[in-house]
Structure 1
Amino acid sequence: MKIVIAGGTGFVGKVLSRLLQENGHEIIILTRNKTVQEKDIQYVQWLQQGARPEQLLDTVDAFVNLAGISLNNGRWTKKQKKAIYTSRMDATLEIVRIMEHLSAKPKVLINASAVGIYPTSSTATYTEDSMDYATDFLGTTVQDWERQAKRAEKLGVRVALARFGVILGRDQGALPSMLLPYKMHIGGTIGSGEQWLSWVHVEDVARAIYFAITNENIKGPFNITAPHAVRMKDFGKTIAMIMGRSHWMPVPSIAMRLALGEQSVLVLEGQHVLPAVLEKQHFTFHFPHLKEALYDLH
């Protein structure tokens, strides 16, 4: 297949590109830089004045949209929140525009999303059937993001919305900053410790996206979270055990709020999210349990 990836040089995009190449697919990455052809990947310029990527994207089988400024990329000031929001809307609308100009439409669009669409709760459990949506900044951003992606359905394109949990990777994502206090022997429970952490190994994220590309039964939202979420206190204790460090120094909620402001919601509150759609379609996680994921990554 010929697969176009927006955000292909990012954290998830790099892992996905490697997986697709290993399986013999042709990869095109949308980039703000000039259009170039490298050994195995074609880079096509987009989101720049005068760029017409659609002229180089004929007979494409699938689009994967991972584009958008990271939620962890700085304090959530008014300016930063606007950048987080507009980066997602602009990229998604441009992908739909590109598709409109293609004579042969792709079969599928896999559009990134997030479990932040669900309200934070220490008691509720959410699947893709849950219609209770968060109304805070992250929740409304994700709802608008999905709404823009679904515009591609009018073109006859299957749209699958990949609601990511907290993605764990060796060098990027949330894990390095979570490991740091334990490396410094000051690790401990963050906030109450009762908040849920719906995590997932980055390799399983890439595999789930590939699975959704090839599985026509996956349409609409699908959660990409490991099947066994954990409470934050248990996440910390598991890190401590694997690293041979103490889990002793609690980080009060007020300290996190002072340090991170509104962004502190990412670590002080959470959701218990299950990957019901993937499990119904018999997707197999390589890392269903936290302990084996952390052993692989730390």
Structure 2
Amino acid sequence: METVLITGGTGFIGEALTQLLTEHGYHVIVLSRQPHAHTNSANNLLTYAHWDVRKQAIDLAAVQAADFIVHLAGANVAGHRWTNTYKKEIVDSRIQSSQLLFNTLQQHPNKVRKFISASGTGYYGENNGLTPFTETDPPTTDFLGNTCQAWEAGALQMEQLDKKVVIFRTGIALNKNGGALKEFYKPLQFGFATILGSGEQWVSWIHLHDLVRLYFNAIVNPGLTGIFNAVAPKPVQHKDLIMTMAKVAKGKSFISVHVPAFALKLGLGEMSTEVLKSVNVSCRKIQDTGFQFSYPEIGAAMEQLLQ
């Protein structure tokens, strides 16, 4: 039985990946600051181990048991207003956690074969939707672009330890119980389909089911290495995402409302730039490896998520 160590395993992506892995017979160890809070799990293939990134402490036995590490940990980019303090937490939670894992692997014998890390499409700048970004395009120099560069550098240093590395630059992961879709859906409960800004900005999204399958594919496919965009084949403009969501969930029983850009800037501050940014990203590289998306189009994705 092979073992997968997951950081960020209590988030909605980590939980879904854990379920898929244990269904296929993998032993999963989830790192947590409070592992004893999760000991009631009925899944005998799932265990929890302690780590504390701020104290640079980790359960060495858990690391040494792992054949693969999936690194999802990091403060929620959209969790709070981007104050200087919270921006530092966003960066530190990614850099310090990667460094803790690197130091542990470097200093102690282990059997880890592959290190699989999250990153984000915030790596890229803004485009008009006509020419999608590919993995070879340069990063932008704004806050998220710099954060993603540092995040990926933390993963790529694992190659110094002869570990294979896979990095997924993830778009907006759609899941009804968390993430952006949960926030988009809140006004719809009161009958309002809320379109942010002009609504013409491009959104590169991915269904949670496909995102988890990408991580699983990276584990079971020993030859898969490198950086890949984790986005569905057909990005949409923000207004089309919102209207598709509304029609699937409410039929015709809703009113569309635009929230102007200036109001978003007042309410969200610097983070509004990401909400309003137009980012069209290509998934051709991962498709060329043979991966097939279950939900390539937003309509079918929304129907599965909301019905």
Give the length in aligned residue pairs: 297
Give the match for residue 113 of structure 2: 107
Per-residue deviation, 1:247: 4.8
Deviations along 1:176-211, one digit per CA (max 9) or x if unpaired, are 111122222222432121111101111111110010
1:95 to 86, 90, 101: 101
Partner of 1:257: 265
Aligned residue for 2:199?
193
2:305 corresponding residue in structure 1: 297
Equivalent of 1:67 in 70, 73, 79: 73
- Whether 1:6 aligns to 2:7 is yes
What is the CA deviation profile of residues 225-244 of structure 1, one whole-angstrom value per residue up to 9, with x for unaligned ones? 11110011211221222122
Q: Is the 8 A contact 2:202 2:280 kept in 1?
A: yes
Answer whether contact 2:49 2:59 (CA < 8 A) is retained.
yes
**Worse-matched range after superposition: 71-80 or 182-191:** 182-191
Deviation digits for residues 133-165 of structure 1 (CA, Å, limit 9, x no counterpart):
111000000001101111100100011111110
1:138 aligns with 2:132: no
Counterpart residue number, 1:287: 295
Which TM-score applies when normalising by structure 1? Answer: 0.94
Residue 256 of structure 2: SS of its match in structure 1? coil
Aligned to 2:27: 26
Q: Which runs of 5+ in 1 are unaligned?
A: none
SS in 1 for 2:81: coil
270-279 or 29-38: bigger deviation: 29-38
1:85/1:141 contact within 8 Å kept? yes
CA deviations over 1:79-124 (Å, ceiling 9, x no partner): 1101111001111111111211342341100011000001022244
The residue aligned with 2:46 is 41
2:226 aligned residue: 220
Unaligned runs of 5+ in 2: none
The answer on whether the counterparts of 1:57 and 1:102 sit within 8 Å (CA) in structure 2 is no
* 2:134 is the counterpart of 1:127: yes
What is the CA-CA distance between 1:40 and the residue it aligns to?
A: 2.9
Q: Using the alignment, how far apart are the partners of 1:52 and 1:172 within structure 2? A: 28
Tell me which amino acid in the other structure corresponds to 1:160. V
Mapped partners of 1:270, 1:15: distance in 2: 28
Q: Deviations over 1:27-55 (max 9, x none)?
A: 11111125686533221111265844223
Of the structure 1 ranges 209-218 and 156-165, higher mean CA displacement relative to structure 2 is found in: 209-218
Q: Does structure 1 residue 179 correspond to structure 2 residue 185? A: yes
Q: Does the 8 A contact of 1:240 with 1:247 survive in 2?
A: no
User: Structure 1 188/51 Cα, relative in aligned 2: closer, same or farther at 3 Å?
Assistant: closer
The answer to whether the 8 A contact 2:166-2:224 is kept is yes
RMSD: 1.8
